[in-house]
Structure 1
Amino acid sequence: MRLVHTPSFKLVEFNKDLPPYAILSHTWRDKEATIEDFNAFTARLPRRRNMIDYEEAFEICQGKYQRFDKILGACGLAQKQGLKYVWIDTCCIDKSKSAELDESINSMFLWYERSHICYAYLEDFKLTGGVLNREAFGLCRWFKRAWTLQELLAPKFVFFYDQSWNPLGEKTSLGSILSDITGIETSFLTETTSIYTASVAKRMSWAAAREATREEDRAYSLLGIFGVNMSLIYGE
C-alpha cells in the first residue's frame, strides 16, 4: 500500500505493519493528478529539513497545478490532526500497472475500513451561515457516485467537509440526514448492525441509483460490500 507522508509530501510504500492513516473520499474531476503527476509536482516544492510548508504549497498549486488542491487539503488536514499518512486513490495507485490496479480495487473496501479517519470532501457544496442546508447537501454529486457508497459504509469515522474544508459533521451525528439521502438505515451507517446482515436485495437497493463513468465500475464498486474478490476485466 502506498501512502502520502504528510510532513514531506512524498509517497511511501508499506507491505505490512501499516501506520495510522487518513483516507480521502471524493468525486473525480475530468483530470485528476496521477502518481506521475504527483511525483513531478512534489519535486518542485521547496523543503526545509525535508518538510513542506502547506501554505506555500497551496500558492504553487494555483493555475497549472490546481488539481492538487484537494490532495494538499487532505494532507494538510491530516497533519494538523497528528496523522503522518494519507491514502488518496488518484495518486497512490499506479494505474499503468494492471496487477496493481486489480489488487487495489479488490482491497479498497478493506483500506477504507482500516483507516483511522475518512475525509469525505464535497467539492460542489458550500457551507453558508454556519448552518447545513439539507436539501443542497443531499444534491451533492458524492451521494450519486458508485464508488462513494463503500467509502460511506466501510470506515468507522467519516467526516464531511465542504469545498473550503469547513467541517460539516461526522456520519454518526449526521445519521438521520444521511439515511434520508441514501436510503440506508442508520444502524448500518453507525455500525450498530453489520452491513453483511442485510439481504442481497437491500444492499443492491443502496447502489441502484448510483452511477459510474465506466459501466463495469458499477459492479466493481460493490466487491467489498458483498465480500467478493475477483479479477477485473474492463470491456468484458
Structure 2
Amino acid sequence: MPDDEIKDTASEEQAGTVLDLLQGYNRYARELRENGQLAPAGEYYVAGARGRLMRSWPLPDGASENVQPSPTYSISQFTYGMRELLLGSLCFRLAGSSDRCRNHSEQGCLIVSDLIRGKELEAEPELGLCHEILGDLRVVGEIENADEAYETAAEFYSGTDSHLGWQMEDGFDDFSLLVTDLADSAGYTISTETREEVTRTSLDARIRFKRNHFAKIIDTVLAAGNWESKVL
C-alpha cells in the first residue's frame, strides 16, 4: 500500500477513535441522567460538549499527523456541542445547582456570541440559528433577554427562501429535536401540524413555538425532575 494511502487510512481510524470517544461521553452522560445522577451527568454532558466544540474548528493541512481535519468550520459539530452544553446546564438545574447551570449557560452564550461576531458563518439562516441557541441557553440558565434573542433569530429567518431545505441542513435538527423530545417527555402536547412546522417546514413557526412554549416545557421538565429520551 502506498504511503499516502496508509496515512489516509490511519487518519480515518484516528478520526473514528476521536468520534467514538465523544460519543462515549454522551452515552455515559445519558446513563448517569437516567439513573438520577444529575450533577455527574451534567459534568459529562459539558465535557462532551467541549470536545465537539474543539472539533468544530478547521485545521490547515499538515497541522495534525493523525487526524484529517474539516476544511471549513463545522456547524454540525458546533450545534451538537451547544446542545450537549445546554443539556448539561439543565442537569445542573435539575440537581438544584442553579449557579452551575447559569455558569455553563453563560459560557455557552459567550461562545455563540463570539461565533456570531466572527467570519465563520455568513448565511442568514445559520446566524438565525445562533441567535435561537442563545435564546434556548438563556431560558435554561434563567438569563435575561431570551425573547430578544428569539426575535433576532426570527429576523434572520424571515428572509429564508427554502425553510425545508435549511431545516434539513446539518445542525438545525439538533435544536428542533431538543424542543420536541423535551416536550414529549414532559407530556407537553404538540399537534402533528405544529411538529411538522417546527421540525421541517417553517423556521418562522419554529421560533414562534419556542418563544411561546420553550420556557413552559423547561418548567414542566423541572417539575418532573428529569426527562426521558433515547437521544438527548
Greater length-normalized contact order (CA 8 Å, ≥ 6 residues apart) = 1
Taking structure 1 as the reference length, the TM-score comes to: 0.30
Taking structure 2 as the reference length, the TM-score comes to: 0.31
- Higher share of residues assigned helix: 2
